[in-house]
């Protein structure tokens, strides 16, 4: 499948809503399903047009996934998360989308930086996406809280050191 990355548009809400309400996708991404339509709209509206929130769209320009890059307090540290519709899994789409997202982030930065990702220890596909993009798994297994169901979950933390002069 050919795809492109672009910013989310208000017209993408229904397609994004379908992805975000898919229990299998939400569980693997550790993402809370918002059941109230107003809360869903407000959460989505906060992503529209923002640099760190990229829609993965198919040839018909319909949202089939997303990449979410957050910047905690430190200027040189980012965290990445992503989700993709089930029918697009295991096609290399997310590996390419993460690659282009990191490349875009690199072009916007003025100094070296790090990107982190937390992945459930049983989410092998997501781990492969990170490995293909040069992320290294840190030694320690952490315990996180799933946004999906607030359960305790074992996670691997991955890190990518991005050097601007590479």
DSSP state of 80: E
Q: What is the pTM of this model?
A: 0.87
pLDDT of residue 149: 64
Structure-block tokens of residue 108: 């916007």
- Say if strands 77-84 and 152-162 run parallel, antiparallel, or are unpaired: unpaired
Alpha-carbon distances, residue 5 vs 52, 104, 128, 130 (angstroms): 11, 10, 20, 18
Instruction: Round to whole Å and give the CA distance between 149 and 147.
Output: 6
Question: 62 burial class (0-12, 13-18, 19+ CB within 10 angstroms)?
Answer: middle
- Read off the pLDDT of residues 83-100 as tens digits, 9 standing for 90 and up: 999 999 999 999 999 999
Q: Quick one: tokens of 60? A: 């018909």
What percent of the chain is modeled with pLDDT above 90? 52
Q: What is the pLDDT of residues 101-139, one digit of tens each?
A: 999 889 888 889 999 999 989 899 999 999 999 999 999
As a whole number of angstroms, the distance between CA 31 and CA 21 comes to 10
Q: Give CA–CA dist 58/91, Å, rounded.
A: 13
Mean pLDDT, all residues of the chain: 87
Give, rounded to a whole angstrom, the gap between the first and last alpha carbons of the chain: 30
CB 123 within 8 A of CB 99: no
Cβ contact 153:30 at 8 Å: yes
Neighbours of 8 (CB within 10 A): 22
**Where is mean pLDDT largest: 13-27, 47-61, 70-84?**
47-61
């Amino acid at each position: 499948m050919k795809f492109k990355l672009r910013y989310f548009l208000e017209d993408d809400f229904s397609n994004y809503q379908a992805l975000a309400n898919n229990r299998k996708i939400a569980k693997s991404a550790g993402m809370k399903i918002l059941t109230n339509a107003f809360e869903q709209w407000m959460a989505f509206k906060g992503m529209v047009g923002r640099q760190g929130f990229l829609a993965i769209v198919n040839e018909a320009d319909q949202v089939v996934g997303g990449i979410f890059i957050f910047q905690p307090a430190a200027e040189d540290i980012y965290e990445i998360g992503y989700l993709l519709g089930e029918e697009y899994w295991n096609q290399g789409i997310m590996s390419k989308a993460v690659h282009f997202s990191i490349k875009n982030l690199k072009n916007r930065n003025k100094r070296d930086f790090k990107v982190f990702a937390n992945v459930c220890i049983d989410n092998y596909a997501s781990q492969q996406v990170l490995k293909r993009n040069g992320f290294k798994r840190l030694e320690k297994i952490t315990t996180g809280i799933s946004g999906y169901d607030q359960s305790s979950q074992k996670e691997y933390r991955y890190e990518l050191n991005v050097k601007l002069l590479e």
